[in-house]
Amino acid sequence: MTHNSRRHIILYLLLLLAVSAAAQVRSRLIPEALPQFFGSGGSNYSRRDPGTPSYDRNGLRINHYNGQHHLFGFWLEAAYNTYLTTQPNFSPKPGGMAFGGGITYEYQNNHFLVQTGAGLRYQQTANRIADTDFYDNTVTDAWGYPYSLHYEFYDRVDSTYNFSLNVPLLFGARFQGLYFLAGLKFNMHFNGGTFVRATGSTTGTYEQYLGLFEEMDNHGLRKDVPLERKSDMYIDLTPSILASLEIGYEWGKYAKEDNGFGSKRTALDFRFRLAVFSDITLFNIQHGKTKPSLLVPENYKWDFPAYQLNHALVSQDAKGHTAHNIFAGVKLTLLLGFKTKGKCVICSRKDLKLGL
């Protein structure tokens, strides 16, 4: 064997050894690298996972919605609210409003959603009450002459306000940005009151004089007297249950950070939601209270400041009727996910042994 032949064999063996070593190192770095060895899968030194996620039109990485997510955040709401009741003398007045906010926790498994949390809600409502009048034929004046005393009350508005604590338990799903949540909210009123505003007039009729007497202060006859009564008692201080439905759209971002050699990817899940919602009490909030809607004390028939007026929903007029509180409005929600660690971008041998 000639000297040149031996040299060619040695060079051939060294070249074969180098190629074998390179392939072995390559296969350790990227097990799935053989089809991608010459760059078809990206950098020869970066790990590539099958099914690299794409972005949907909201900037959210589609496949990151698969699996389990734990999200925390807060929400704000504004709504119109009123009472739906079968009382014939009771009609809603425009202007009822509610505002609320709170914290929330949401668990997501693929497209399935479960949400809970705690929040505070303030609401105020106003309702018109039909005009009322009645007669008292047992009245005598200072000289002992009997007459018929006629009471009239009009322009009456009964209002309520209250603060409540609510805890939701909602279930739903998300599909390409659209989502819905439905379930129950457990509600507890802890502060509130009522206002009754009306105008009153009294007139008298003497049979012997065949005439109508009005605005005679010495006879207790007054016209267009403004009345206002306030009570610290709210309609219902017991717990109530509301059925809730929320439908909206979600925007978000799944942001990642690459920290260099041997590191793993970290991600922050950020989501913003805009929705419409509706809540309604499931059960009748009317408890058949026996308070009179209007009470004129026996010894103060001509004394308007002594007249007692109670909100229609806590009065005897509500017996045999039902009432439900309803809300409809808009809701903003901000959700943040935990920082999660994915697989390494540039893998060290230690990472590979751990399967990272």
Tokens of 300: 């103060």
Segment holding 323, helix H or strand E: strand 323-337
3-class secondary structure, 4: helix
pLDDT band at 28 (very low <50, low <70, confident <90, very high): very low
pLDDT grade for 262, boundaries at 50, 70 and 90: very low
Question: 249 pLDDT exceeds 70?
Answer: yes
- Give residue limits of the domains in the chain: 1-38, 55-354
Counting beta carbons within 10 angstroms of the beta carbon of residue 94, is it exposed (0 to 12), middle (13 to 18) or buried (19 or more)? exposed
Strand partners, 212: 205
What pTM did the predictor assign? 0.69
**Contact predicate 135/151, CB 8 Å:** yes
Segment among 9-13, 17-21, 238-242, 308-312 with least mean pLDDT: 17-21
292 residue type, one letter: P
Q: Count of alpha carbons within 13 Å of 318, Cβ hemisphere only?
A: 26
> How many angstroms separate the CA atoms of 298 and 308, rounded?
12
pLDDT at 176: 81
- Compute the distance between CA of residue 23 and CA of residue 308 in angstroms, rounded to an integer: 95
Rounded Cα distance, 237 and 192, in Å: 8
Residue closest to 151 by CA, chosen among 292, 290, 303, 289: 303
Is the pLDDT reported for residue 52 higher than 70? Answer: no
132 DSSP assignment: E
Mean pLDDT is highest, among 25-29, 44-48, 245-249, 336-340, for 245-249
Q: Identify which of 66, 69, 73, 94 has the alpha carbon closest to the alpha carbon of residue 82.
A: 94
**How many CA atoms are closer than 13 Å to the CA of 209, on its beta-carbon side?**
10
243: amino acid identity, one letter: A
- Nearest partner of 111 among 174, 46, 62, judged by Cα: 174
Question: 100 pairs with which residues across the strands?
Answer: 77, 121
CB 265 within 8 A of CB 256: yes
The per-residue pLDDT for range 302-353, each reduced to its tens digit, is 777 788 888 888 787 777 888 888 999 999 999 998 655 555 555 555 544 4
> Which residues, including other chains, have CB under 8 Å from residue 202's CB and lie 6 or more apart?
149, 150, 151, 152, 214, 220, 221, 222, 223, 302
Q: Which two tokens stand for residue 57?
A: 């039109």
Q: How many CB atoms lie within 10 A of CB 242?
A: 22
The single residue listed with the structure tokens 């919605």 is 65
Residues 6 or more apart whose CB falls under 8 angstroms from that of 85 comprise 286, 313, 318, 321, 322, 323, 324
Is the Cβ–Cβ distance between 177 and 251 less than 8 Å? yes
**What tens digit of pLDDT does each residue of 189-230 get?**
888 888 899 999 888 888 777 678 787 776 678 888 898 988
Q: Are 212 and 186 in contact (CB under 8 A)?
A: no
Say how far apart CA 299 and CA 352 lie, in whole Å. 94
